[in-house]
Amino acid sequence: MRLSLQLQYAICGVFDLAYNGGGQPVQIRVISERQLVPTRYLEQIFQRLRRADLVASKRGPGGGYSLARPASEISLREIVEAVEGPLELALEMAPAGIDGPSLRPDFLWKELAERFGEMLEKTTLEELCRTAARAHVARASGAAPMYFI
């Protein structure tokens, strides 16, 4: 199974907010640079995530995006469905296009969607952040650069 590039970017972006954001708004440009995702594309993705109430936006100086809920309350399934739509539809197989009984294992797709959905539902952003910390994924430096004149 292959995740769409859009979904990969969404997960990277929301992970960045949870892992590096510290509960503060983060500009989309900063997330884009850290996650190596085109800014314009990430803006479109974050609009979907905002409509799904996964991220919140703040305008003006000091503005940006933050998680709309605690990381422990946001599952990967919610992110997948905000970007791709209902999981059952994403894993649905096209009809065979034949009359009469199907000889294909069409029953399998619904079962796969249920199992995959359960696994995604159990995986929260908080758990993903703990796993990243155990894997020694570097955190972004919170210190502002110093400029000397």
Q: State residue 100's pLDDT score.
A: 58
Domain count, the chain: 1
Which pair of structure tokens corresponds to residue 101?
Answer: 């009984």
Q: State residue 60's pLDDT score.
A: 85
Q: State residue 146's pLDDT score.
A: 46
Mean pLDDT of 101-120: 82
Flag whether 72 is in a domain: yes
CB neighbours (10 Å) of residue 111?
11
Flag whether 96 is in a domain: yes
Flag whether 49 is in a domain: yes
Flag whether 21 is in a domain: yes
Instruction: Say if CB 56 and CB 66 are below 8 A apart.
Output: yes
Residue-wise pLDDT tens digits, 65-89: 999 999 999 999 999 999 999 887 7
Q: State residue 98's pLDDT score.
A: 61
Flag whether 141 is in a domain: no
Q: State residue 61's pLDDT score.
A: 84
Give dist(CA 121, CA 96) in Å, integer. Answer: 30
CATH number at residue 77: 1.10.10.10
Flag whether 45 is in a domain: yes
Using the Cα atoms of residue 13, residue 9, residue 126 and residue 89 in order, give the sign of their dihedral: positive
Residue-wise pLDDT tens digits, 128-137: 999 999 999 9
**Quick one: which of 19, 9, 28, 4 has its CA closest to 90?**
4
Flag whether 148 is in a domain: no
**Quick one: which of 123, 119, 31 has its CA closest to 72?**
123
Give dist(CA 39, CA 45) in Å, integer. Answer: 10
Flag whether 108 is in a domain: yes
Q: State residue 97's pLDDT score.
A: 61
Mean pLDDT of 35-61: 95
Give dist(CA 143, CA 22) in Å, integer. Answer: 13
Q: Domain of 59? A: 5-134
